[in-house]
Amino acid sequence: MREDTVLFGGSANPALAEAVARELGVPLSPCEVERFPDGELTVRLGRSVRRCEVFVIQPTAPPVNDHLVELLAFADACRRSAAARVVAVVPYFGYARGDKREGRRVPVTASLVAALMETAGISQVLTVDIHSAQMEGFFRIPMDTLSAVPLLCGALQGMLPEGTTVVSPDAGRVKTASEFAERLGLPLTVLSKHRESGTRTRVTHIVGDVRGRPCLIVDDMISTGGTIAESAEALRGAGASGPFIVAATHGLLMGDACRRMAVHGVEEIVLTDSVPVRSADGMRLRTVTLAPLLAEGIRRAAGDAGSQHERDP
Ligand code: R5P
């Protein structure tokens, strides 16, 4: 890595930040995040960043607002301390689902977050499997989205029962699910989902034959577990035999998400460590680390001559 590269890890996922730093062979620089009794926060950089290329590793994981403001505060501190560039490494990008106006008199929060990041002084964003690709259009700065699908497929190799079909739980995930299906050499089934509220969804159609088949349901993120639970129920109703296995990049697993999925027959879940991984009550949990992928993304963003990308023709 170049000598002017500085890495900071925010408080959202310190274990992942440490792992990325180890992969890069660059230590995390000291910093402090102080939270005040009224809910405000500030950060203090423990070294000079003048003319440096700074990477701040901070998924905007729950509590999303706190971690987002912390990232913005890091960027502002770097900008005011004359950093040459500030790259936000955001393995999980909160608010990405707010990418359109659902009805009238509502905001487009994803666009708002992009504007806040630019205003704070972020020069580039590096993320993984963001909810919707159109997010890139909200930024005027470069945004790179890395894919965890090859890593997840690597973890799934050899653990899927004979006859498994890959399932996209909604139309928005068809492209990702197709990639899983192609990589794993499996057929694809697509569900059509109607969202009734923040916690309830309903499957309206199933495209594909799932009778007697085990299912691998794939998604970008699991929040309440509602999408997966409803999908498993609909698949069972259409004759799928189970077991139901789930693979997702971002395992937020809020509240009783795990119990909800387990009750609907999900036996095993494969996640990345984009957000701190908790145990998955009632299911077997396997995690794959994003550290090597993020480290390579950082090398490329830093224009490091030793990266695989730079060596490729
Ligand atoms: C929605 O389109 C996303 O891709 C996920 O399916 C959804 O956000 C998961 O949320 P939950 O677990 O609350 O259903």
Same domain, 155 and 270: yes
Q: Which two tokens stand for residue 47?
A: 């070294």
Q: Is 221 in the pocket of ligand 1 (CB under 6 A)?
A: yes
Closest ligand 1 atom to 198 CA: 13
Same domain, 156 and 112: no
Same domain, 143 and 174: no
Q: Which two tokens stand for residue 165?
A: 């079909």
Domain total of the chain: 2
Q: Is 176 in the pocket of ligand 1 (CB under 6 A)?
A: no
Mean pLDDT of the chain: 94
8 Å CB contact between 16 and 289: yes
For 15-51, what is each residue's pLDDT tens digit?
999 999 999 999 999 999 999 999 999 999 999 999 9
- State residue 311's pLDDT score: 44
Phi-psi region of 25 (alpha: psi -120 to 50; beta: other; left: phi over 0): left
- State residue 305's pLDDT score: 47
Same domain, 67 and 96: yes
pLDDT band of 307, cuts 50, 70, 90 = low
| SS3 state at 270 | strand
- State residue 287's pLDDT score: 97
| Share of residues in the chain with pLDDT > 90 (%) | 87
For 193-238, what is each residue's pLDDT tens digit?
887 776 777 888 999 999 999 999 999 999 999 999 999 999 999 9
Same domain, 114 and 35: yes
* Structural domain range at position 213: 149-288
Same domain, 105 and 163: no
CA 227, CA 6: separation in Å to the nearest integer?
39
Instruction: Note if 175 is an active site residue.
Output: no
Query: To test ligand 1's pocket by mutation, which of 223, 224, 258 has the most ligand atoms within 8 angstroms of CB?
Result: 223
Same domain, 166 and 258: yes
Across residues 249-264, what is the average pLDDT? 96
For 43-101, what is each residue's pLDDT tens digit?
999 999 999 999 999 999 999 999 999 999 999 999 999 999 999 999 999 999 999 99
Per the model's pLDDT, the better-predicted residue between 304 and 282 turns out to be 282
Same domain, 121 and 154: no
Q: To which residue do tokens 């403001």 refer? A: 69
- State residue 196's pLDDT score: 77
Closest ligand 1 atom to 131 CA: 4
